[in-house]
Amino acid sequence: MKYLLPLILIITIYANVGLAEPPLEEYVQARNPHLQQSNVNTVVDDVLNLILDQGFAGAIIVVLLGWTWKESKANRAIQKEHFEKFVEISQECSGHMAAVSARLDNIEREIEAQKTLQMMKG
């Protein structure tokens, strides 16, 4: 029941949108009958023209793209540094845990020896 209402809502919206607008391919062919096939160069040119046509918003997009790339690069360097520190700390902890384990083994042997001695006396 909880999935039925959203499903009906999505179908209704899809049906209304589908009836209101013509399919995109027919619209593009009707508006531009000399549509050429795109390749990598025309795609790059189209993207650059789109950004340049946007003016201030295009400049903001370029600046944000550069800033995101710079921050991503810095974050990767910091993440690598932190991972190396984590490996060092993990190895150090493993060494300490081995020492504690050896001490506990010694204590266990001493307790067993004391138990045996008490049983022989008693």
Examine residue 115 and state whether it is found in any structural domain, yes or no.
Answer: yes
d(CA 19, CA 32): 22
State the pTM of this model. 0.40
Examine residue 77 and state whether it is found in any structural domain, yes or no.
Answer: yes
Q: What is the pLDDT of residue 80?
A: 94
Examine residue 111 and state whether it is found in any structural domain, yes or no.
Answer: yes
d(CA 116, CA 122): 10
Average pLDDT over residues 5-26: 62
Q: What is the pLDDT of residue 36?
A: 58
The stretches of 21-55 forming alpha helices (DSSP H) are 24-31, 40-53
Examine residue 1 and state whether it is found in any structural domain, yes or no.
Answer: no
Report pLDDT digits (tens) over 71-118.
999 999 999 999 999 999 999 999 999 999 999 999 999 999 999 999
d(CA 45, CA 47): 5
Position 5 pLDDT exceeds 80: no
DSSP tag of 122: -
Q: What is the pLDDT of residue 121?
A: 87
Examine residue 30 and state whether it is found in any structural domain, yes or no.
Answer: no
Number of independent structural domains in the chain: 1
- The SS3 call for residue 39 is coil
Examine residue 90 and state whether it is found in any structural domain, yes or no.
Answer: yes
| Domain region containing 97 | 36-121
Examine residue 8 and state whether it is found in any structural domain, yes or no.
Answer: no
Examine residue 20 and state whether it is found in any structural domain, yes or no.
Answer: no
Average pLDDT over residues 34-58: 74
